[in-house]
Copies of this chain bind each other. A is one copy, B any other.
């Protein structure tokens, strides 16, 4: 099919441009000299504009229509390529250029205002920008279109096919059991604290060691330092991660496992999907399921540390010589009703997300006003987590997402947590002696199953489809709740 050949060439060229943009961002985070920022922004704008012109070109529109006219005769993968490219083309062409430019200008300003507001813990600095961003996001939803609720249009940007009703149902299942679990386990497990700092080179070496054990392929990726850990793709054989190293925190371990999980997903995509729009994780939620599976389900489990704790003790004798495995496990799983989402444990985490979901939904449908957010934030944290928010910096201003203009992103974190537990149930059926597998450090077995069932497919299947193929069921909160109940019941004795 000539059209498909042309479409694949078009896809490959766009993918090259996006990987180039990703290289620019990677370099900006890990290496770029301080004063180069403005010049880099200009280069980024030049290349983005080139890519954008190709993304909205009538030529691409015609190729897509040509391909769609022969959809029935196409392979599953070619149909998926059409789906993904059509989705991106529609998202790009539905938004008028002036709108995109205004949105982009506004988010630049909003990020600066947010930084200042957070520094001064003064919501009023951010408020007018956020008000304008909410207006534009509602406009964005109108441009993109939706069936039931304007917030649907925004959710779909991050998780194809996700709806407000679906997210509300998910949290409906979660909310009461989670509040109850928090009540039962909060404060029952003693967190770890360290008087002696971890030497940074030792942290890096141990993070690398865990990544190798997970099966991260250093001939197809690398590990660098950056202020905020992230995973990025610069090419089919070039999937990179960053990590951060603080003196007395275990972030270096859980950061490496988390980003390693994302990177394994990317590295596991089949080579036949290389240089195409399918050479990518299918959604943020599924991506997060992979990072959370390694960080939490595997990486905070007792059998995993049966294998790795002796090595950790050996690597950091000053910190761990007098700590036993059980204290360590309880410490890394301590449940604490806290104020900060990114520091939250597995039990409380999704309540933080629930609060953001309720607020976003309210803002987009117009039932909440931006001016009321600090008060609403305090009320919800008191109600769901039983904590008092003392300052906006540790409250409504803690996340950068809204300053990025990202409404609809947060729920994918919870999807990731639920999907991780559900996928792990699938794995346990495949490997009933999984406890021994973990205790043996045979992480290759887990990785290979994930590659076969999830990673290799890239973006070929829709997120819900993929999950149903792997687990035999649509996304549900039950596996996650059962996982928490069993794990924390055992830990708390």
Binding site for B on A (CB under 8 A): 12-13, 16-17, 19-20, 23-24, 27, 31-36, 38-40, 42-43, 46-47, 50, 218-222, 224, 234-238, 240, 274-275
CB closest chain-B residue, reference A41: B235
The listed residue (B33, B47, B235) touching A220 by CB distance below 8 A is: B33
Query: How many angstroms from the CA of A92 to the CA of B332 in the assembled complex?
Result: 62
Are A19 and B43 in contact, CB atoms less than 8 angstroms apart? yes
Which residues of the other chain, B, contact A234 by a CB distance below 8 angstroms? 32, 36, 40
Are B27 and A43 in contact, CB atoms less than 8 angstroms apart? no
Name the prevailing secondary structure of the A interface residues.
helix
Which residues of the other chain, B, contact A24 by a CB distance below 8 angstroms? 20, 23
Query: How many angstroms from the CA of A390 to the CA of B156 in the assembled complex?
Result: 69
Chain B CB within 10 Å — which of A27, A31, A34, A275 has the most?
A31
Which residues of the other chain, B, contact A224 by a CB distance below 8 angstroms? 31
Are A238 and B46 in contact, CB atoms less than 8 angstroms apart? no
Are A16 and B38 in contact, CB atoms less than 8 angstroms apart? no
Minimal beta-carbon separation of A275 from chain B (angstroms): 7
Query: How many angstroms from the CA of A238 to the CA of B39 in the assembled complex?
Result: 8
CB closest chain-B residue, reference A17: B46
Are B237 and A33 in contact, CB atoms less than 8 angstroms apart? yes
Which residues of the other chain, B, contact A274 by a CB distance below 8 angstroms? 39
Are A16 and B43 in contact, CB atoms less than 8 angstroms apart? yes
Are B13 and A46 in contact, CB atoms less than 8 angstroms apart? yes
Minimal beta-carbon separation of A458 from chain B (angstroms): 15
Which residues of the other chain, B, contact A33 by a CB distance below 8 angstroms? 218-222, 237-238, 240
Are B275 and A40 in contact, CB atoms less than 8 angstroms apart? no
Q: How many copies of this chain does one complex carry?
A: 2
Minimal beta-carbon separation of A234 from chain B (angstroms): 7
Are A237 and B36 in contact, CB atoms less than 8 angstroms apart? yes
Minimal beta-carbon separation of A49 from chain B (angstroms): 9
11 residue pairs bridging A and B, Cβ less than 8 Å apart: A12-B46, A13-B46, A16-B47, A20-B24, A20-B43, A33-B220, A36-B237, A36-B238, A39-B235, A39-B236, A40-B234
Which residues of the other chain, B, contact A39 by a CB distance below 8 angstroms? 19, 235-238, 274-275
Are A46 and B237 in contact, CB atoms less than 8 angstroms apart? no
If A33-B221, A39-B274 are given as contacts, then 13 extra A-B residue pairs at C-beta distance below 8 Å, sorted by A number, are A16-B43, A19-B39, A20-B20, A20-B47, A23-B27, A34-B219, A35-B220, A35-B237, A36-B237, A36-B238, A38-B237, A39-B236, A40-B234
Minimal beta-carbon separation of A124 from chain B (angstroms): 33
Question: Would you list the 7 A-B pairs with minimal beta carbon distance, nearest first?
Answer: A39-B235, A36-B238, A16-B46, A35-B237, A16-B43, A34-B219, A36-B237
Which residues of the other chain, B, contact A47 by a CB distance below 8 angstroms? 16-17, 20
Query: How many angstroms from the CA of A47 to the CA of B51 in the assembled complex?
Result: 11
Which residues of the other chain, B, contact A235 by a CB distance below 8 angstroms? 36, 39-40, 43
Minimal beta-carbon separation of A237 from chain B (angstroms): 4
Which residues of the other chain, B, contact A17 by a CB distance below 8 angstroms? 46-47
Which residues of the other chain, B, contact A46 by a CB distance below 8 angstroms? 12-13, 16-17, 20
Query: How many angstroms from the CA of A16 to the CA of B238 in the assembled complex?
Result: 23
Minimal beta-carbon separation of A241 from chain B (angstroms): 11
Are A35 and B219 in contact, CB atoms less than 8 angstroms apart? yes
Given A33-B222, A220-B33, A221-B33, check contact A42 B238 (CB 8 Å). no
CB closest chain-B residue, reference A240: B33
Minimal beta-carbon separation of A27 from chain B (angstroms): 6
CB closest chain-B residue, reference A43: B16
Query: How many angstroms from the CA of A23 to the CA of B22 in the assembled complex?
Result: 12
Which residues of the other chain, B, contact A218 by a CB distance below 8 angstroms? 33
Query: How many angstroms from the CA of A19 to the CA of B221 in the assembled complex?
Result: 23
Are B222 and A31 in contact, CB atoms less than 8 angstroms apart? yes
Are A275 and B238 in contact, CB atoms less than 8 angstroms apart? no
Minimal beta-carbon separation of A270 from chain B (angstroms): 15
Are A42 and B222 in contact, CB atoms less than 8 angstroms apart? no
Which residues of the other chain, B, contact A36 by a CB distance below 8 angstroms? 220, 234-235, 237-238
Query: How many angstroms from the CA of A221 to the CA of B33 in the assembled complex?
Result: 5
Minimal beta-carbon separation of A126 from chain B (angstroms): 29
